[in-house]
Structure 1
Amino acid sequence: MNIYREITPLKTPDVFVVLDSVCNGFDYPIHNHPEFELNLIAGMSGTRIVGDSTERYADYDLVLLGPYLYHKWDGDAQLQQSGQPYRVITIQFAMELFSGQLFQKERFIKIRQLMRDSSRGIKFHGKTFEEAMRIMIGLTEDKGFANIIEFLQLLDLLSQTSDATFLATEGFSPQALRSDSNRIQVAYGYILKHFDNPDLKIGDVATLVNMSDSAFSHFFQKLTFRSFTDFLIDIRIGHTCKLLLDTDETVNQIASKSGFNNLANFNRLFKKYRSCTPVEYRRRYLEKGEFDWTHQVTPWQFMPQKNGTKEAIKPSSYATRLVHF
């Protein structure tokens, strides 16, 4: 199964681009792209999809997305039709930006960690959100090299904060676990490597780190805030969500590859954790193809469906400014 691939307006000479949209519609499909993206929404409520996370957002939303992470924002139709003004500011920048020698320096350690963490999508809130929104609004105006400095200040702000929440599960977008404990790092790595084994038990991991089952259970829950069983199920369900989107394999095949050897039990757990069946989950993402921001009068190269047919959007209904830096 394919997801729309966005061709972003980012060009080779760019450090980043800023798209500033006012009352610009929310009718684009779920999609991904190889660039990082920081997306700010102000004055709108709706539903946000990031990886296997589906959540409501209200009034304001700020999320950092890693490369190729599936995402989509829907705006409530009633609010859009009411004429209430809303704004979307999107910053996109390339993976290659962090491959140079400058970003390998010690001062950039936390920013590099932020970029790795973005593979799951990160939502920011609190005072961090307020300060980030102020900087992002400022970045919509071309101030020359000052924009580059402000962009780095924005990344530094986001890399230092605790006002952040991961969105996609570890199974959907695996990442390194932040912890000073070598034992939990070893345990986490082992679980990620062997979660597809239906016979994986807590005792296997406890033995690996030289602890009793009971001691490891308390230790694991203290550091991850979840029981071993709940953590393992999260990993497995997240992985099945990714396979449902990335492949055309049957539900039975996907369940087997994710560590479930009982299809009925898998279906029960999936519905408990995702509030729908695997087949229903997959149907949400049936649209496929590619769209190109740079070749359209509208921001994306596709047309929304209406009454089963595709109709062009009137260019006058869109107001998007694009700035390259």
Structure 2
Amino acid sequence: MKAVEFHLPQDVDKSFIVFRETGDFFPAPWHYHAHYEFVMVNKSTGRRMVGDHIGYFEEDDLVFMGSLLPHVWVNDPLYLERRAPEQADALVIHFTDDFLGEDFMTIPEIDDFRKVLKLADRGMALRGETRERINALIRAMPAQNGLQRLSSLMLIFDIMSSTMEFDLLASPRFVQNFHYDSSDRFKKITGYIMQNFDQDISLAEIASVGNMGVTAFCNFFKEQFRVTFVEYLTTVRIGHACKLLSEHDRNVVEVAYECGFNNLANFNRQFKKLKNMTPSDYRKTLIIR
């Protein structure tokens, strides 16, 4: 079974990713990515495979995994057959080792946590009081503002730095022998989007950047990024809009057009869909803070 490389969309105004995975079952296939990852299960049961380790997950299960470690969460048949009384639900955190700058992980204060990152190459299943404390922090993060969310992550790092309440998952042999296919295609596509998101980008245009036809590109993008190209582009544009709105020297119409939206109505609709408020209301929350 070949692992698929994943690339999750990230707002340009955030340094790391926190998202909720919810549905009849967890859809992700056997995959890996460059990010470190926490997976905390709120609801659902099933088997999780981390490297060459297979274990059972249930409510409150918490696993921390290193960069490039293949993994998959497979729900029990009750969920896969849509017979469960509730939806599968998990909270996930993704971050890279340079998410706060290239030198962040080299500062003295991170010495103990760097050792944890090394252990995470094999995957760590947390247990006991450590799991309870970290789960409480993770559950609060979706509703927090940027600085609060970052503070919660730092507290998680601190707890991880001193705990012995964990089990290592994948074998050392698996970690040493696993090879992945890294392609410049991902960097070319995301780089092009970041440089041109304020312009119209056609599917034919972006597909050519990846040296693919339109149909192949659409399938490839959805498989790798877990969202469509249009959804990803919209996320990037709205993230940039949040940055511009915080600067208070542009009106909403100017922000919309500077982010690549051709009309204000569509900008307002997409902004509210992603942020659960209008651009004007978002700006008011910044003033209040």
TM-score (norm 2): 0.59
Q: Is 1:10–1:93's contact at 8 Å kept on the other side of the alignment?
A: no
Does the C-alpha gap of structure 1 residues 47 and 55 become closer, same or farther in structure 2, counting only changes over 3 Å?
same
2:128 to 114, 126, 129: 126
1:258-297 equivalences under 5 Å are 290-295=223-228
Q: Residue 53 of structure 1 aligns with which residue?
A: 53
Q: Is 2:123–2:168's contact at 8 Å kept on the other side of the alignment?
A: yes
C-alpha distance in 2 between matches for 1:60 and 1:44: 9
Task: Provide, for residues 129-164 of structure 1, a one-character-per-residue CA deviation record: whole Å limited to 9, x for no partner.
Answer: 111110001111132311111111111112211111
1:153-172 equivalences under 5 Å are 153-172=155-174
Q: Is 1:6–1:33's contact at 8 Å kept on the other side of the alignment?
A: yes
Task: Provide, for residues 206-227 of structure 1, a one-character-per-residue CA deviation record: whole Å limited to 9, x for no partner.
Answer: xxxxxxxxxxxxxxxxxxxxxx
Structure showing greater relative contact order (alpha-carbon pairs closer than 8 Å, 6 or more residues apart): 1
Q: Residue 29 of structure 2 aligns with which residue?
A: 29
Does the C-alpha gap of structure 1 residues 322 and 115 become closer, same or farther in structure 2, counting only changes over 3 Å?
farther
Q: Residue 246 of structure 2 aligns with which residue?
A: none
C-alpha distance in 1 between matches for 2:122 and 2:63: 10
Task: Provide, for residues 174-213 of structure 1, a one-character-per-residue CA deviation record: whole Å limited to 9, x for no partner.
Answer: 4xxxxxxxxxxxxxxxxxxxxxxxxxxxxxxxxxxxxxxx
Partner-residue secondary structure (3-state), 1:156: helix
1:1-325 equivalences under 5 Å are 2-10=2-10, 14-79=14-79, 80-97=82-99, 100-174=102-176, 239=177, 242=178, 290-295=223-228
The answer for unaligned runs of 5 or more in structure 2 is 182-219, 233-273, 277-289
Does the C-alpha gap of structure 1 residues 143 and 14 become closer, same or farther in structure 2, counting only changes over 3 Å?
closer
Partner-residue secondary structure (3-state), 2:173: coil
Q: CA deviation at 1:322?
A: 9.1
Partner-residue secondary structure (3-state), 1:159: helix
Number of residue pairs aligned between Structure 1 and Structure 2: 195
The amino acid across from 1:87 in the alignment is D
Does the C-alpha gap of structure 1 residues 291 and 47 become closer, same or farther in structure 2, counting only changes over 3 Å?
same
Q: CA deviation at 1:67?
A: 1.1
Partner-residue secondary structure (3-state), 1:145: helix
The amino acid across from 2:74 in the alignment is D
Q: Is 1:19–1:322's contact at 8 Å kept on the other side of the alignment?
A: no
C-alpha distance in 1 between matches for 2:74 and 2:23: 13
Whose radius of gyration is greater, 1 or 2?
Answer: 1
C-alpha distance in 1 between matches for 2:13 and 2:114: 21
Q: Is 1:18–1:322's contact at 8 Å kept on the other side of the alignment?
A: no
Q: Residue 253 of structure 1 aligns with which residue?
A: none
Q: Is 1:17–1:322's contact at 8 Å kept on the other side of the alignment?
A: no
Q: Is 1:34–1:95's contact at 8 Å kept on the other side of the alignment?
A: no
The amino acid across from 2:49 in the alignment is I
Q: Is 1:6–1:292's contact at 8 Å kept on the other side of the alignment?
A: yes
- Report percent identity of matched pairs: 21
C-alpha distance in 2 between matches for 1:161 and 1:17: 24
Task: Provide, for residues 268-300 of structure 1, a one-character-per-residue CA deviation record: whole Å limited to 9, x for no partner.
Answer: xxxxxxxxxxxxxxxxxxxxx74212427999x
Instruction: Name whichever structure is richer in helix by fraction.
Output: 2
The amino acid across from 2:42 in the alignment is A
- Using the TM superposition, name which of 106-115 and 160-169 deviates more: 106-115
The amino acid across from 1:14 in the alignment is K
C-alpha distance in 1 between matches for 2:275 and 2:64: 19
The amino acid across from 2:22 in the alignment is V
C-alpha distance in 1 between matches for 2:141 and 2:123: 22
Q: Is 2:60–2:135's contact at 8 Å kept on the other side of the alignment?
A: no
The amino acid across from 1:295 in the alignment is T
C-alpha distance in 2 between matches for 1:173 and 1:59: 27
Q: CA deviation at 1:12?
A: 5.9
C-alpha distance in 2 between matches for 1:78 and 1:85: 10
C-alpha distance in 1 between matches for 2:47 and 2:231: 22
Task: Provide, for residues 71-91 of structure 1, a one-character-per-residue CA deviation record: whole Å limited to 9, x for no partner.
Answer: 000111214522224420000
The answer for unaligned runs of 5 or more in structure 1 is 175-238, 247-288, 300-320
